[in-house]
Amino acid sequence: MAVDWMATLKEAGLLVRNTEADTRKLLASETLSVEHAVRLLDAVSEMSEDFDEILYELEADEGADEELIQAALAIEALWSELSLACLNKVRILRGMPPITISMTGSDEDGEEP
DSSP code, position 108: T
Residue 57's closest CA among 12, 113, 14? 12
CA atoms of 28 and 25, how far apart (whole Å): 5
Left if phi > 0, otherwise alpha if psi is -120 to 50, otherwise beta: which for 95?
A: left
Across residues 86-105, what is the average pLDDT?
Answer: 89
Q: How are the residues of the chain apportioned to helix, strand and coil, as percentages rounded to the nearest 5?
A: 70, 0, 30
Does 62 score more than 50 pLDDT?
A: yes
Does 46 score more than 80 pLDDT?
A: yes
As a whole-number percent, the residues of the chain with pLDDT over 90 amount to 83
Q: What is the per-residue pLDDT for 108?
A: 53
Does 109 score more than 90 pLDDT?
A: no
Decide: helix, strand or coil at residue 101: strand
Q: What is the per-residue pLDDT for 112?
A: 47
pTM: 0.86
